[in-house]
Structures are given as structure tokens and as C-alpha cells.
Structure 1
Amino acid sequence: MLALYRLASKWPLGLLHALGALLGWLTWLASPTYRRRFAQNSARAGYRFAQVRAAVAHAGRMALETPRLWFGAPVPVQWDGPELIEAAYAAGHGIVYLTPHMGCFEITAQGAALRFGATHGPITVLYRPARQAALAQVLATARQREGLETAPTTLTGVRQMIRALRAGQAVGLLPDQVPPEGQGLWAPFFGQPAYTMTLAARLLQQTGATPLLAWGERLPRARGYCIHLQPFPEALSNDLDTAVAQINRAMEQLIAQNPGQYLWGYGRYKTPRKVAS
């Protein structure tokens, strides 16, 4: 599998995005379950299909651009709001990047590591270890890069992220990712109860880090990406339930800026999986 990823990484980004768009639509047409979940999730959020149909192709682009981002030559990256990062580092309490399943979330961590890692230390990103050995090898190799560290979704990984924040560094996670049972709570997401991680809120409450909303827009005609940064829209509550709901609202507001690049087919409202004892 690693050899296949390395082969695909040499293809032009435009070709990968074109094939990815085709893959996205073929998947949508071939899978009634995926179509139904896509339609239900976007309708819950108040969007008509015409407003989100671009997300069908973007899901496929995300899948096929990944080898290029992991193993290929650098891609063009623009920035919107990098001064927010400098201000957050100047505050001295670290940064928690909050990124939904929107656009190219791989490029946000890579871009931050490349631009700020040498000056301010690495960015530590949360990841779920792959169950398949072949894929685990790909992930382990892909994310070994300057300025980027990974933390598994375990107690050890959480401690690693806390240490990074207390050292004034940055961490990144996807707060709309459904955590395992016992690691989240039910909170509204577009008006529907969704099992939501508490980790993002706990990291912010325990360390006083600066929360920044971040997402990587996939630019048209394979011109690269634009990393958008925004301040958290309100003061985070000290109450955990309230803080989790606030983070969900912030993700909703971010998604509303470009619903055509959100992964509406993601199982956001699924029942959390049990952790093996």
C-alpha cells in the first residue's frame, strides 16, 4: 500500500482532483447508504442539495489528494489571517486549532508546521491509529515531517498534547469527530444531538490556550489551498457541557461559510463505538 501511495503522490494535483471528483460522484451514485446519510445530514443543517452538491466531488478529491500531500512535492498554500497565529503565540499559552471535516484538513496542520514550526515549535495533531497494519505503516511514514508531531487518541496522547500546550506550542484536532464511548457527551450539532468529544474543551480549560478556528479551502482549478483562520467567536465557558456546545456552534458557523466543502457523508450522528476493555 505504501508503494501505491508513493506512486500516486507523483501525479499532478489537477489530475488527482479531476479523478477524485469522478470518484466522489461514483461513490454517491453507487451507495444508497452514503446518499441517504449525505442528504439527512445536510438537510438537518438547513441546506438544500443545490447548496451542498459540490461536496460530493470534494469528498472524492480529499481521498485522492492525500497521497500527494503526504508524500509528494509541496503544493501552493495561501493564508488568510496568519497574524492571529502570531498573536496567539505571543500570548504564551499555546494554540488549539479547531478544524471541522471541511475542505483539506490535512493541509492546515502541514501549513502551520511549515510556516511556524521552526520559530515556535512543532504542531501536535491528534490521530486515530489505523487498525490495518498496511495503513498504519502508511500513516506512520506519511506524518514523519519537520515541525509536525502526532498524538494517538489515548491517555498518553492526551498527556502529550497537554505538555505541548504548556510549552507554548500548538495542537490540532477535529472537534466534530465522533469519539469512543466515554470520551464525549451528547450536544446539539445543527439542532440534533450528536456525540461530541470533550477533549477540545478540556485542553482549552486546563491550559488557557488560545482557540483558533482553521480550515483549508481547496481552491478551484487545482491552484492549491488557502488556510483560513478565525478567532473563537465567544469566551469559552468554564462549564464543560456549555463549552462543548460552544465549540459545536463555532463549527456550524465555520461550515456555513462554505457548506460545499464539508463532508456531509461523515457519520456525525452515529452511536459512539465501545472501547475494548
Structure 2
Amino acid sequence: MSARPSPQPAPWWLRASAYLPVPVFRAAGWLMGAALLCLAPRRRRVVRRNLALCFPEAGAWQRWVWTWQTFKHFSQSFLDRVWLWHGPIGRIRKRVDIDDPHGVLQQPGPMLFFVPHFYAMDAGWARLTLDVPRRWWTFYAPQEHAGIDRWIKEGRKRFGAPRLVSRREGIRPLLKGLREGASICLLPDMDLGARNAVFVPFFGVPAATVTSLPRLAAAAKVPVATFCCRMVSGGYRVEVGPVWVDYPAGDDEADARRMNEALEAMIRTMPGQYHWLHRRFKTRPPGEPPLYAD
């Protein structure tokens, strides 16, 4: 059996940049976000359409502020990966706090964590795999660019030898991992098509919502909790919620609806940090018109 190849060392300039203070990364991310806002009109239209659908009660100016924040936080969190993946461990502990008021992370045994697509999720993953001694697994979406793909995979595997399961492998490896005691971070809040999904409201709009979270929880008989990570001044904060009571209920639509309601509550606390760049309503119920112009 061949040995696993060692990760390729990062370029010297990337490792040196990891020692820069957070304000420098945040300023660079601000500039990068402003450039993307101007130079990516298609994505800008997707963000504005998502916000108009989900927050029709908000004024046009407020939705524009959230649009700007979306590009800014995307860029800042992308650049912060430099110090998360190449910086000293002490800086990660100082800059990424963990808030676990219910002691969920100390509970023994396998567990499913619902982890929505907030831009800070890589910071939360780094801190948890660094300091919480569990067998961490998660899904991974391969990137088109080989260099970016290798950088992201090696960064997410920096601490604790976690298992990254490619989306191409499906959910069977995750079920096997749960039965063997793993703690799995699942990100089921994207539009992955109508297969294995149900249409339930997301901010009042029917959205194709995959049912992997309740189905895995039921099949492996494991508890479900939520963790999200938010960007704060000087770094990040991981927020771990309590174990969900009476979940799953055994009804795919009811379970998917409950998941979306929990997600909505989190988004309302930080609308500008959610992944609105994704076409969340791309898949439509039969007979319904598309919601995004080409």
C-alpha cells in the first residue's frame, strides 16, 4: 500500500503573508470585494435577485448594503485563509473564538452538524479540527482549478487529519463514518437540483432542499446540532447551537422545512455574510417560471 503523498509546501510569500495583522487582510479584502462588485455583473445580479426574493420588505438601499457586504465578506474570508492555513497556531486560537454554551462539542459519540454556507465557515472548521478532539468529516466540492483545489484541500486538512468526502462519492461514505463514530459537518443549504430534494419555503419562496440531513440522522440514529461561524472585529466566532429536539420527525418535507427555518433565523442575524452568490432558487417546481435572467 503506497504512502499518502506529503502536502506540497506553500510558496514562501504565502507563508510570510500569514504573519500580517488582521486589519491588513481585511483592508485587502475590502479592495478585492469592491473590484468584484464592479467586475462581476452576473454574480451581482444573482445576489440582488436573491435578496429581493428573500427580503422584499427591506428597502432598496438596505439590500444594496447587503449586496456590498456579500462581496466584501466573501473576499475578506477568502484572504483570511492565508493565516488560517499557513499562520501560527497561537494566532488562530486568539482570532477564532468558540461559543458552545450547551456543551455540545463535549458530548460523546457521533453527531451531525448542520453547517450553513456563511463565508466564515473555514475559520470555524480550522478551529474545531485544531482543538476539539473528534473524528471530523465533511463534504467537499472539488474546484475546477487544480491549484486552488489542492490549496483548499490541504488547508482544510491542516489539523486533526479530518476526512474530506467528495460530493462525487455521494452520502454513503458519510453514513459509514457516522456508524463508525465520526462527527460530520453537512452543508445541505444549496440548490443541488430536484433529485433527493423536496420543495419547501426558504424565506417564503419554494426552494429545492436536499434531505440528506434528516435521512442521515435517521439512518445512523445520531443527534443533530448546528454550528455557524461569523466574522467579527479582529477575527471570527464559532457559535454552536443545542441539539435539536425530536429531529428528524420522519417526514422529509417537515424536516427540510425545519432546517430552512433554522437557517433563516441565523441569516437574519448577519444577512451580509451568507452565500448569496449562489443561485438558491435555480431549480423550480414543475410549471414554475425561472427566477434568474441569463
TM-score higher than 0.5 here? Answer: yes
Amino acid at match of 2:73: H
| Match for residue 248 of structure 1 among 260, 264, 281 | 260
Q: Describe how 1:91-170 pairs up with structure 2 within 5 A.
A: 92=109, 94-117=110-133, 121-147=134-160, 148-155=162-169, 158-170=171-183
Amino acid at match of 1:72: G
Residue 62 in structure 1 maps to residue 77 in structure 2: yes
Q: Distance in 1 between matches of 2:15 and 2:283?
A: 35
SS state at 1:215 partner? strand
Structure 1 pair 145/210, CA: closer, same or farther in 2 (3 Å)? same
| Match for residue 38 of structure 1 among 33, 47, 52 | 47
The alpha carbon displacement at 1:196 in A equals 2.2
| Match for residue 198 of structure 2 among 170, 182, 185 | 185
Q: Distance in 1 between matches of 2:204 and 2:16?
A: 43
Structure 1 pair 146/29, CA: closer, same or farther in 2 (3 Å)? closer
Residue 224 in structure 1 maps to residue 243 in structure 2: no
The alpha carbon displacement at 1:238 in A equals 0.6
Aligned residues: 263
Residue 17 in structure 1 maps to residue 26 in structure 2: yes
| Match for residue 173 of structure 1 among 159, 170, 186 | 186
State the TM-score, normalized to the length of structure 1. 0.83
Which residues of structure 2 form unaligned runs of 5+? Answer: 1-7, 285-294
Amino acid at match of 2:165: A
Bigger Rg, which one: 2
CA-atom RMSD in angstroms: 2.6
Structure 1 pair 77/38, CA: closer, same or farther in 2 (3 Å)? same
Structure 1 pair 43/64, CA: closer, same or farther in 2 (3 Å)? same
In the alignment, is the contact (CA less than 8 A) between 2:188 and 2:210 conserved in 1?
A: yes
Structure 1 pair 82/108, CA: closer, same or farther in 2 (3 Å)? farther
Q: Distance in 2 between matches of 1:18 and 1:57?
A: 10
SS state at 1:263 partner? coil
Structure 1 pair 232/257, CA: closer, same or farther in 2 (3 Å)? farther
State the TM-score, normalized to the length of structure 2. 0.79
The alpha carbon displacement at 1:19 in A equals 0.9
In the alignment, is the contact (CA less than 8 A) between 1:216 and 1:228 conserved in 2?
A: yes
SS state at 2:47 partner? helix
Q: Distance in 2 between matches of 1:127 and 1:7?
A: 27
Residue 28 in structure 1 maps to residue 37 in structure 2: yes
Amino acid at match of 1:256: R
Structure 1 pair 265/131, CA: closer, same or farther in 2 (3 Å)? closer
The residue that corresponds to 1:275 in the other structure is: none
The alpha carbon displacement at 1:7 in A equals 5.7
Give a deviation string over 1:206-242, Cα, whole Å, max 9, x none: 122221121111111xx22110111256532211222
The residue that corresponds to 1:266 in the other structure is: 278
Q: Distance in 1 between matches of 2:228 and 2:139?
A: 15
In the alignment, is the contact (CA less than 8 A) between 1:21 and 1:59 conserved in 2?
A: no
The alpha carbon displacement at 1:172 in A equals 0.5
Q: Distance in 1 between matches of 2:136 and 2:283?
A: 30
The residue that corresponds to 1:79 in the other structure is: 98
Q: Distance in 2 between matches of 1:164 and 1:84?
A: 22
Which residues of structure 1 form unaligned runs of 5+? Answer: 273-277
Give a deviation string over 1:33-81, Cα, whole Å, max 9, x none: 2222222212222244426253332122122212322222232221222
Q: Distance in 1 between matches of 2:119 and 2:42?
A: 22
In the alignment, is the contact (CA less than 8 A) between 2:104 and 2:242 conserved in 1?
A: no
In the alignment, is the contact (CA less than 8 A) between 1:143 and 1:149 conserved in 2?
A: no
Structure 1 pair 228/25, CA: closer, same or farther in 2 (3 Å)? same
Structure 1 pair 234/125, CA: closer, same or farther in 2 (3 Å)? same
SS state at 2:157 partner? coil
Amino acid at match of 2:230: E
The alpha carbon displacement at 1:124 in A equals 0.4
